[in-house]
Amino acid sequence: MILIKDREPEMNLSNEITSEFDKSLIEIHIKSVLTRLSEFLVSRSVHSYLVGGFIRDVLLGRDTADIDITVDADVLSIGPQIADQFQGKFILLDEVNGIGRIILKDLTLDIASFTGEIGSDLARRDFTIDAMAIDMNQLGLYNPDITLIDPFGGRTDLDRGIVRSVTNTAFSSDPVRLLRAVRLSFELGFNIDKKTELEISSSANRITKVPGERVREELLRLLVSSRSGHVFNYMDKLGLLTALIPEISLLRGVTQPREHYWDVLEHSINTVSAVDFILHQGVWDHKNKDILAKVPWTSSLAQYFDQSVSNGSTRRSLLKLAALLHDISKPQAKAFDENGRMRFLGHSEEGSMVVSSILERLRFSSKEVKQVSFMVKYHLRPTQMSQDKLPTRRAIYRYFRDIGDVGIDTLYLSLADHLATRGPDLLMANWEYHTRLVDYVLTEHVQQEKLVQPVKLIDGNDLINVFGMKPGPEIGRILEQILEAQAAGELTTREEALDYTRNYLLTEGK
């Protein structure tokens, strides 16, 4: 069992109590690795402790493959030695503060240096539930007892379901903890301590001092939540959302036409909740009967949205990010026509550029930036493909040609946008038509892919050799028109494609 030694920051070892904690909660292969690692470090006269999230998760009975270790040695020296010993890979994360990462086959070890007493190291950590430690010398497979070093009451806060900062300087020393506090509260289902909430609110603007790479990592982990809309609402309450993305502050209080239930900011956040709902991850607080049943959904679509895009991001998380930002330029585009009708002309195109700037600032990859900005740019396109009837095959082909890799994602963004436009006033007849349109477009797209790929009826060489055309952009335009006709089922053979080209050239006077 673990013996908890409640300690004051000066590491008083009195008041020992016993906790009902079984070491078998730690997976046997993890215990084996940690025991071997401890023996390796002892052989080099290095003292080491397990710290942070690993202990927290074990005490909560949660699975984890990420382990934090602190050592009284130079990480830049000992880290590569550990990686070599365990046939892993060492990555230097922070040279100044001596932090590195060791990637093993099924474990990740984050290793940091400490000097002096372990209590001083724990005092510099973020939250009490992460400020606990275990001396790795105690992790022998046959050791019956483990002493939990817990100077700040982390175990008590775990039992109470509280996220509480260790000191009132926790956020000034590392402002990324502002986001981490919110993430932990939603990941664990905990509440943030009221005093800590006040500290976050008063320190919210410090988030601008955090390198974009670290913000991106925390933001993506927040987007994993099935309650992402509630996450952003809470961040807004704390002042974190607009500190992180100042452009969002302009959305607050911006009214919309009467078909909109919320202002632009509330609509944007509710669109995130709607994405979680239609992707079968979260709930819709304004649920009417059979809303979800109308949405096209298969196991293949579930796998599609779980696809990895870049390090830490998936199609699902980027769709939620696009939902938050899809109307980012509405305030600037707001105007009234001659009939007094409120319009937001060009907000999608302008928004796409603003979103690219935001995501580049937060160090998202070029692929992530392109996907989100394309979803924002084309989020109105699905419902513009036709009026009062299902779109033509050619319209569907052009849609996927123009939007490319996020054509499916944008269809679901349009559904979420619809839900968050009407809110509790959703008209089921309109919703049924919208979901039927999406289902039809998805089905037709699959059929068009089968028709066009991998069959190529003619190519540029045919246009040059058969019709005597010269290399140039005109060849590309003709081949694109042939692909469109092929996708629409109008051309199926080489001969038909050649006839189509011949008629086109005659009509155009070539």
305 and 445 in a single domain? The answer is: yes
Q: Is the pLDDT of residue 466 over 60?
A: yes
Nearest to 264 by CA among 328, 170, 342, 204: 328
Q: Is the alpha carbon torsion for 115, 120, 121, 125 positive or negative?
A: negative
Neighbours of 481 (CB within 10 A): 14
213 and 332 in a single domain? The answer is: no
pLDDT at 14: 29
CA distance 67 to 479: 55
CA distance 174 to 176: 6
Find tokens 């500190």 and name the residue.
243
Which strand (E) or helix (H) includes residue 494? helix 494-507
Which CATH number goes with the domain that contains 185? Answer: 1.10.110.30
pLDDT band at 11 (very low <50, low <70, confident <90, very high): very low
- Ranking 21-25, 87-91, 153-157, 265-269 by mean pLDDT, the lowest is 21-25
pLDDT at 16: 34
pLDDT > 70 in the chain, percent: 91
Q: Is the pLDDT of residue 28 over 80?
A: no
Neighbours of 193 (CB within 10 A): 19
Query: Which pLDDT tens digit goes with each residue over 95-144?
Result: 777 889 999 887 889 999 988 889 888 998 999 999 999 998 887 655 55
pLDDT at 5: 41
Q: Which of 137, 160, 183 is the last residue of a domain?
A: 160
- Give me 488's structure tokens: 């629409």
Find tokens 């499916």 and name the residue.
408
Neighbours of 274 (CB within 10 A): 29
pLDDT at 181: 97
Of 148 and 26, which is predicted with more confidence?
148
327 and 445 in a single domain? The answer is: yes
Query: Which pLDDT tens digit goes with each residue over 185-218?
Result: 999 999 999 999 999 999 999 999 999 998 999 9
Q: Is the pLDDT of residue 402 over 80?
A: yes
* SS3 per residue for 71-121: ECCCHHHHHHHHHHHCCCEEEEEECCCCEEEEECCCCEEEEEECCCCHHHH
444 and 352 in a single domain? The answer is: yes
156 and 258 in a single domain? The answer is: no
Query: 94: domain range?
Result: 2-160
Q: How many domains does the chain have?
A: 4
Which CATH number goes with the domain that contains 423? Answer: 1.10.3210
- Give me 301's structure tokens: 């679509």
pLDDT band at 34 (very low <50, low <70, confident <90, very high): confident
Q: Is the pLDDT of residue 49 over 60?
A: yes
Average pLDDT score over residue span 484-504: 83
Nearest to 485 by CA among 469, 466, 501, 461: 501
**In which order are the strands placed within the sheet that holds 89-94?**
16-19, 2-6, 146-150, 133-135, 48-51, 66-71, 108-113, 99-103, 89-94
pLDDT at 415: 98
Average pLDDT score over residue span 430-446: 95
Give the chain's mean pLDDT: 88
Average pLDDT score over residue span 84-98: 87
257 and 171 in a single domain? The answer is: no
pLDDT at 454: 53
346 and 390 in a single domain? The answer is: yes
Nearest to 178 by CA among 127, 143, 233: 127
The pTM for the full model equals: 0.83
Which CATH number goes with the domain that contains 76? Answer: 3.30.460.10
